[in-house]
Amino acid sequence: GAVVSQHPSWVICKSGTSVKIECRSLDFQATTMFWYRQFPKQSLMLMATSNEGSKATYEQGVEKDKFLINHASLTLSTLTVTSAHPEDSSFYICSARDKSGYGYTFGSGTRLTVV
Amino acid sequence: AQSVTQLDSQVPVFEEAPVELRCNYSSSVSVYLFWYVQYPNQGLQLLLKYLSGSTLVKGINGFEAEFNKSQTSFHLRKPSVHISDTAEYFCAVSAPMDSNYQLIWGAGTKLIIKP
């Protein structure tokens, strides 16, 4: 079945540094990638939607200059948390929609801890 | 716009007992319906989905769900749970007419299996 590989699975970084999270669709082409943030014991909060080759659409309240999303190809999307602060610590998950439009495949998530 | 309500934040159940996790949605258009499972510190895995056709949908791990249009529900059931079913379960909907096919999420239900 469809697989989305998300790396790293966890990362600890110092406040003020940037962190890049990668999501790769391994056996299908991802036309749309969704980036979510999940706080402990809560549901998923959509941060942004990106379509291959175009700028990402950010949800209200999400700083696009802080959370940089690049969807340069049909198999790779990246989320860069710039100048990270402790409040950015969270679980980040990507999800790819395949060309059928009916399938959503999730990455395994990235636990970001900013110290 | 669509919305999803998962009425129970936690459902405790004894091992080998049946379980039902409730999901109701609201939408003025036809929707696709999904159930996902999330194990601790992991991404989400699709359990089952309803796109069209038979209202009883069978998924992985012995789960099934029934789409009830008149009651706008999509409850998830399993006749006999196992300790390994301990996880968070999310119900989600998407609207075929939504060009981005965004998923709208419920708040999640934590399934707690008691030995």
pLDDT at A12: 97
Residue-wise pLDDT tens digits, B17-53: 999 999 999 988 888 999 999 998 888 999 999 998 9
**Residue B94 above 80 pLDDT?**
yes
B41 exposure class (CB count in 10 Å sphere: 0-12, 13-18, 19+):
exposed
pLDDT at A53: 81
Q: Is A110 on the interface with B (CB under 8 A)?
A: no
Q: Is A89 on the interface with B (CB under 8 A)?
A: no
pLDDT at B2: 82
Neighbours of A7 (CB within 10 A): 13
**Residue A101 above 70 pLDDT?**
no
Q: Which residue of A has its CA nearest to B4?
A: A43
**Residue A51 above 80 pLDDT?**
yes
For chain B, list residues whose CB is within 8 angstroms of any CB belonging to chain A: 32, 34, 36, 41-46, 49, 51, 90, 96, 100-103, 105-108, 110
pLDDT at A30: 86
Residues shown for chain A: 115
pLDDT at B67: 96
Neighbours of A68 (CB within 10 A): 16
pLDDT at B99: 65
Residues shown for chain B: 115
pLDDT at A16: 97
Please name the member of A32, A93, A105 whose beta carbon is closest to the beta carbon of B101. A32
Question: Which conformational region is residue B9 in: left (phi greater than 0), alpha (psi within -120 to 50 degrees), or beta?
Answer: alpha
pLDDT at A54: 83
Name the residue with higher pLDDT: A99 or A103: A103
Residue-wise pLDDT tens digits, A62-97: 999 999 999 888 899 999 999 999 999 999 999 998
**Residue A57 above 70 pLDDT?**
yes
**Residue A42 above 90 pLDDT?**
no
Q: Is A34 on the interface with B (CB under 8 A)?
A: yes
pLDDT at B68: 95
Q: Across the interface, do B105 and A49 touch by the CB < 8 Å criterion?
A: no
Q: Which residues pair with residue B87 across a beta bridge? A: B111
How many angstroms separate the CA of residue A108 from the nearest CA in chain B? Answer: 4
- Percent of chain A past pLDDT 70, that is, above it, reads 97
Nearest CA to B30 out of B94, B102, B99, B84 is that of B94
pLDDT at B100: 67
